[in-house]
A and B are shown apart, each in its own frame.
Chain A
Amino acid sequence: MKLKSLNAITFEEEIYDNGQPCLVVFSRKNCHVCAEVVPMLEEAAENYIDSFGFFYVDVEDESDLFKRFSLRGVPQILFFNNGEYQGKLGGLLEEERVVEKIEEVRMG
């Protein structure tokens, strides 16, 4: 499942207004680690169609969003619930690690 791409405006809507538990992966096109992590998220998303949001931010197109969270590199996965930041995971990741964090965020 392709992840829904966010820009500065839709980011506000999805993360803060809707407030559903979700993750946002910050990624860029020419990063090979991202190219491993993003497809893994696309697969994981199949299992959470209505229960957890999966979003994508291209840091080259949306550099302001990237700067706002003062991130040091990509890929970075940020987790939110009710519009509140719940932590992040960076770099090359195993699917198990992400699923663990998703469950943690869902349980609140």
Chain B
Amino acid sequence: MSNIYDIVIIGGGPAGLSAGIYGGRAKLKTAILEKGTVGGMAATTREMVNYPGFKTSTGPELTKAMADHAREFGTEINKDEVKDIDLNGEIKVIKTKKGKEYQTRAIIIAVGSQPRLLNIPGEKEFRGDGVSYCATCDAECYEGLHVVVVGNGDAAIEEAMFITKYASKVTIIVIHDEGTLDCNKLSAEKAFKNDKIEFIWKSVVTEIKGENAVTGVTIKNLKTGIIQELQTDGVFIYVGMVPETGFLKGKVEMDERGYLSCNGLMETSVSGVYAAGDVRTKYLRQVSTAVGDGATAAVAAERYIAEQESFRNYVLNSDKPILMAFWDPVVQESLDLLSVLEKTVADHGDAVNLIKIDMSRTKMIAQKYNVSKVPTVLYLQGKDEFTVFDDENCIAKLDAFLKRNI
């Protein structure tokens, strides 16, 4: 059996695991690469109450079931990290930190996102010494102490409530006007009722202070400009997420925040490269939407591999010369050309095979033959030998060419 993988999935959270289930089930040689915890961000969620079919579950439980499910279908889950990635060419190459090299026909990027840093003085310095991004890990260390939480989304408010189990007081620093929180209404109501929680509105943290460990924070009121010091033993930061796409810069198109842009098939700007889950530009980042992305990406990748395969077989094994027409549904001229071409081929007694290539769907073949505009027609003499017809008179020229050659 070939060592070339059909699909390599980067990231083992719900999106990657779901893609692994679909890939394995389709009998594709599939591997998932995960550098940390299988289950990803979801594996750190204590309580999950909105994943359809599971009224109450935990992140670790749910993601472990997904991982077992993927393995049962034959998908490998390997603990490793991508060091280098080459997306050019039909066979893509991934080099890992452990020194392995993966060759694969398709890649699904499901790397998710990481907590965003505030980038303020003291944040890096006191990481692990009072600055934390994980209440599950660290809340217990603040038994009877005062803790500051920065942020006001779902994660910030829900984690703040979890920390009140241990801390004597939790102060939440909110950038918005009094009473406005970005989190869901239910959590907001619970937080307002929790008498261990206090809010400081319309403010940001500008510095984290301490000596060996955190002793306080500097808070600036955005309305009045007044700066105040607040004593605290710990700072938990929940100010949103950033995608982990640094290693793809200049290789795959992304938006200004680094999220990967893709279409409904989860295709990125590179043929054979798909994105799924939190890493892509999308409206809702949840386990339930991630698994949908993963399924779509795997099926799209499966079809892409099949198309590539049949294209290769068809071109290589064709008993007649091949005429390749590159078209695009939005270019009327190319649509017109297709019907003219069909007639031309028929006029020549069907002595050539006409293949139509939709440039809006597959870019790989166009790249292979250096085609950048539509319409373009190629006449293939041999595997790598071809004649190009792409100007205004191409039909007339082609007609003459076919008369000479057939």
* A interface list, Cβ under 8 A from B: 28, 30-36, 39, 71-76, 88-92
B121 contacts partner chain A, Cβ-Cβ < 8 Å: no
Which residues of chain B from 171 to 201 have a CB within 8 Å of any chain A CB?
none
* B interface list, Cβ under 8 A from A: 35-37, 41, 43-44, 60, 79, 127-132, 134, 136-138, 141-142, 213-214, 233-234
Q: Which residues of B contact A31 (CB under 8 A)?
A: 134, 136-137
Provided the pairs A32-B44, A35-B36 are in contact, do residues A71 and B141 lie with their beta carbons within 8 angstroms? yes
- Least Cβ distance of A44 to chain B in Å? 12
Q: Which residues of B contact A36 (CB under 8 A)?
A: 35-37
21 contacts between A and B (CB under 8 A): A31-B134, A32-B36, A32-B44, A32-B134, A34-B137, A35-B36, A35-B37, A36-B35, A72-B130, A72-B138, A72-B141, A72-B142, A72-B233, A73-B138, A73-B141, A74-B138, A76-B128, A88-B128, A90-B127, A91-B128, A91-B131
Q: Which residues of B contact A30 (CB under 8 A)?
A: 44, 60, 136-137
CA distance A73 to B140 in the complex (A): 8
Q: Which residues of B contact A39 (CB under 8 A)?
A: 79
What 15 additional pairs, Cβ within 8 angstroms, besides A72-B214, A72-B234? A32-B36, A32-B44, A34-B137, A35-B37, A72-B129, A72-B130, A72-B138, A72-B213, A73-B141, A75-B128, A90-B127, A90-B129, A91-B127, A91-B131, A92-B127
From B36, B79, B128, give the contact of A73 (CB < 8 A).
Answer: B128
CA distance A28 to B127 in the complex (A): 17
- Least Cβ distance of A61 to chain B in Å? 13
A74 adjacent to B36 (CB under 8 Å): no
Which has the most chain B C-beta neighbours within 10 Å: A31, A34, A89, A91? A91
CA distance A91 to B115 in the complex (A): 13
CA distance A88 to B37 in the complex (A): 24
CA distance A42 to B141 in the complex (A): 25
| Nearest opposing residue in chain B for A31, CB measure | B137
Q: Which residues of A contact B136 (CB under 8 A)?
A: 30-31
Which has the most chain A C-beta neighbours within 10 Å: B35, B60, B134, B137? B137
B43 adjacent to A32 (CB under 8 Å): yes
CA distance A38 to B56 in the complex (A): 30
CA distance A89 to B125 in the complex (A): 10
| Nearest opposing residue in chain B for A27, CB measure | B137
Q: Which residues of A contact B35 (CB under 8 A)?
A: 36
CA distance A54 to B11 in the complex (A): 28
Q: Which residues of B contact A71 (CB under 8 A)?
A: 141
Q: Which residues of A contact B142 (CB under 8 A)?
A: 72
A28 adjacent to B137 (CB under 8 Å): yes
CA distance A2 to B161 in the complex (A): 36
Q: Which residues of A contact B134 (CB under 8 A)?
A: 31-33, 73
Q: Which residues of A contact B37 (CB under 8 A)?
A: 32, 35-36
Q: Which residues of A contact B234 (CB under 8 A)?
A: 72
Q: Which residues of A contact B138 (CB under 8 A)?
A: 72-74
A89 adjacent to B128 (CB under 8 Å): yes
Which has the most chain B C-beta neighbours within 10 Å: A34, A72, A92? A72
Q: Which residues of B contact A88 (CB under 8 A)?
A: 128
Q: Which residues of B contact A34 (CB under 8 A)?
A: 137
CA distance A4 to B146 in the complex (A): 35
A74 adjacent to B129 (CB under 8 Å): no
- Least Cβ distance of B273 to chain A in Å? 25
CA distance A74 to B128 in the complex (A): 7
A73 adjacent to B60 (CB under 8 Å): no
| Nearest opposing residue in chain A for B143, CB measure | A67
CA distance A100 to B131 in the complex (A): 23
CA distance A36 to B213 in the complex (A): 23
Q: Which residues of A contact B132 (CB under 8 A)?
A: 72-73, 91
